Amino acid sequence: MPRKNRARTRTWKTVGRLQRPDSRFAFVVVDGGHDDVYVPSRHLAGALDGDEVEVEVRRSARSGLLEGRVSRVLHRPYREITGRVARVKTGYALVPDNPRFPAVMPISPGKGGGFDDGDRVLASPEARQPGELNRCRVVRVLGDSEDATLDSEIVACELAIPTDFGELALEEAEQVSQEEGARPELRDHTIFTVDPARAHDFDDAVSVKQLSRASLEVGVHIADVSSLVREGGALDTEAMERGNSVYLPDAVFPMLPERLSSSVCSLVPGTPKLCMSVLIELTVDGRVTRTRFMETRITSSRRFTYEEVQDVLDGRGGAGGAVERDLKTLSALATALNEQRLMRNAVEVEVPELRVELTDRGVPQRVFFEGKLASHSLIEELMILANAEVGRHAAAAGVPLIFRVHPRAKKEKIEEFLRAAKTVGAADLKMPRGEFRRLRPSVDGGSHGAARRRLLNYLYVRAMEKARYDVTDIGHYGLGLEGYCHFTSPIRRYADLLNHRVVKRCLVRKAKSLPAALEAKLPVAAEVCTEREIRADQAEREAVNMKALRYMQRFLGEVFEGLVVGVVNSGFFVEVSGHWVEGMVTRESLRDDFYHLDEDGFSLVGRRKGRRYTLGQVVRVKVARVDPLARTMDLVLVR
Decide if 456 contacts 424 (C-beta within 8 A): yes
Cβ atoms of residues 123 and 163 within 8 Å: no
Residue 4 has pLDDT above 60, yes or no: no
Find the mean pLDDT for residues 378-404.
Answer: 96
The answer to whether residue 156 scores a pLDDT higher than 70 is: yes
Tell me what the mean pLDDT of segment 123-142 comes to.
80
Which pLDDT score, from 0 to 100, does residue 351 have? Answer: 83
Which pLDDT does position 3 carry in this prediction?
42
At a CB cut-off of 8 Å and minimum separation 6, what does 426 contact? 441, 442, 443, 456
Alpha helices by DSSP H, 433-579: 449-463, 494-503, 516-552
> What pLDDT, on the 0 to 100 scale, is given for residue 131?
57
Q: How far apart are CA 127 and CA 112, in angstroms?
A: 16
Q: How many whole angstroms from its chain centre is CA 552? A: 23
**Strand-pair partners of 39:** 26
Model pLDDT for residues 410-468, shown as the tens digit of each residue? 888 888 888 898 898 886 677 666 677 777 777 666 667 888 888 988 998 999 999 99
pLDDT average, residue stretch 235-239: 97
| Residues 92 and 130: beta-carbon distance below 8 Å | no
In this structure, of 171-175, 269-273, 597-601, the range with the lowest mean pLDDT score is 597-601
Give the residue among 164, 119, 116, 122 at the shortest CA–CA distance from 143: 119
Q: How far apart are CA 168 and CA 157, in angstroms?
A: 22
6-24 pLDDT, tens per residue?
Answer: 445 688 999 999 988 777 7
**What would the pLDDT profile of 518-577 be if each residue is shown by its tens digit?**
999 999 999 999 999 999 999 999 999 999 999 999 999 999 999 999 998 889 999 999
For 30-155, strand residue ranges (E) read 37-40, 52-59, 66-75, 81-88, 91-96, 105-106, 119-125, 136-144
pLDDT at 111: 59
| Cα angle, residue 48 at apex, residues 47 and 54 outer, rounded to 5° | 40
Query: CA end-to-end span of the chain, whole Å?
Result: 40
Looking at residue 128, its pLDDT comes to 67
Percent of the chain with pLDDT over 70: 94
Max mean pLDDT range (165-174, 183-192, 448-457): 165-174
Contact 613, 604 (CB under 8 A): yes
Three-state SS for 364-389 is EEEEEEECCCHHHHHHHHHHHHHHHH
Cβ pair 582, 633 in contact under 8 A: yes
Condensed to tens digits (0 to 9), the pLDDT of residues 302-350 reads 999 999 999 999 988 777 778 999 999 999 999 999 999 988 888 888 8
**All residues at 6 or more sequence positions from 42 whose CB lies less than 8 Å from its CB, including other chains:** none
pTM for the model: 0.88
Q: How confident is the model at residue 1 (pLDDT cuts 50, 70, 90)?
A: very low
Average pLDDT over residues 457-481: 93
CA distance 110 to 314: 65
How many angstroms separate the most distant Cα atoms in the chain? 95
Q: What does the mean pLDDT of the chain come to? A: 90
The DSSP line for 161-210 is ---S--HHHHHHHHH-----------TTS--EEEE-TT-S---EEEEEEE
pLDDT (0 to 100) of residue 6: 44
pLDDT tens figures, 615-639: 999 999 999 999 998 888 999 999 8
pLDDT for position 445? 61
Distance CA 67, CA 42 (A): 12
Q: What is the structure's pLDDT at 449?
A: 81
CA pair distance 183, 231, nearest whole angstrom: 21
Mean pLDDT in residue range 142-170: 90
Q: Please answer whether residues 271 and 177 qualify as being in contact, where contact means their C-beta atoms are separated by less than 8 angstroms.
A: no
Per-residue confidence (pLDDT) for residue 146, from 0 to 100: 80
d(CA 576, CA 635): 10
Domains assigned to the chain: 11-75 (2.40.50.140), 82-146 (2.40.50), 167-408+467-545 (no CATH), 411-463 (no CATH), 556-637 (2.40.50.140)
More confident residue, 31 or 244: 244
Nearest residue to 555 (alpha-carbon basis) of 364, 356, 370, 369: 364
Contact 309, 317 (CB under 8 A): no
**What amino acid occupies position 148?**
A
Q: Could you write out the three-class secondary structure of 272-318?
A: EEEEEEEEEEEECCCCEEEEEEEEEEEECCEEEEHHHHHHHHCCCCC
- At 73-123, the pLDDT tens digits run 888 887 888 899 999 988 899 998 887 788 788 998 865 568 888 888 999
